[in-house]
Structure 1
């Protein structure tokens, strides 16, 4: 193919990614079981207070909003602009769409093709925190972004109050670059964010 955009749009998909700890499964519209909109809503409902501390959209979200967000991410994938993977903690047997494995969280990739870069964001249900799942998810998606998609740069933006998320970035090799002032309006207050990056040359 003549240019990177052609290569990327032909290559990019929210393929299932897995290691010994977690499995990432791409969002699909009208899916059933643990990757359905209903399962996502149920997981968020159980951790709504925990998640809404840093994710303002969570506080008032409902099943209709979740379905709209799923459609948006599927369109992003179709046009090579990004994607969303659901995170599952590995059990003894392989995860399938029909089993009862609970959803642990989600990780998103927002792609800027012109810069060969992407911004990662994520959330994790309260019951799955402190188990290293998000660290493994970020490592999996970073490897996919560099080795398969041939991106050059990944970014993470983390609230200055979210030490646990900043620790994930550090454990995954991301370098802190500085502060984005008043980056996000969270629960009525403008919040500074720490900016982290990881380059392909940092790991390859």
Structure 2
């Protein structure tokens, strides 16, 4: 994959993070602290000092190692958030997980579904992965709308799955495999052919919010 080749649709661009992005990303995270805190991964071992410069270095090392692909989401050329493909598994599994955050001032502009679609198409195409997964807290209605729009299939409830905002949190799991979208995720969504119903959560798995 060419790290210098961005993927775009309309005003939304997805590109590999650069070390010089650290300052802007740090500023966005600080400015959006209240907006993002309920969804931020934390450490069960206690608070840790966060430095975006070292964070970007770590993400780029994972990219070089082949275990992740760290993206920046831009809107009309301005950094709007991050999307990370992590937990890349090769061989017989050939899968990965997508996580993301977007600044509050860019919410509602279709940046996240566009970026998730672009990233999934890239992973199915250039990276030759077979399965892409998104895990979402039941309380995160905005992210649940993303997987509905794109037609990700609901696959189950994971109890106390990820440490978020200071506690182990339950997550719903959604996924697509390459055979689900031979035309591509972005194209299927843009053409109105995604099926939101496949993301429906069965009554037995619905948690009180």
TM-score between the two structures when normalised by the length of structure 1: 0.80
Whole-angstrom distance in 1 between the partners of 2:51 and 2:5: 24
Is residue 79 of structure 1 aligned with residue 55 of structure 2? no
Q: After TM superposition, which residue ranges in structure 1, 4 or more long, deviate above 6 angstroms?
A: none
Whole-angstrom distance in 2 between the partners of 1:142 and 1:157: 14
Q: Residue 105 of structure 1 aligns to a residue in which SS?
A: strand
Q: Number of aligned pairs?
A: 177
1:1-150 maps to which residues of 2 (within 5 A)? Answer: 11=1, 13=3, 15-29=5-19, 31=20, 36-57=21-42, 65-90=51-76, 95=77, 101=78, 103-110=79-86, 111-114=88-91, 115-150=93-128
Whole-angstrom distance in 1 between the partners of 2:48 and 2:7: 28
RMSD across aligned positions (CA): 2.0
**5+ long unaligned stretches in structure 2:** 183-209
CA, structure 1 residues 14+73, in 2 after alignment: closer, same or farther (shift >3 Å)? Answer: farther
Q: 1:172: how far off? A: 1.4
Judge conservation of contact 1:14–1:84 (CA < 8 Å) in 2: no
**5+ long unaligned stretches in structure 1:** 1-10, 96-100
TM-score between the two structures when normalised by the length of structure 2: 0.78
Tell me the equivalent position of 2:150: 172
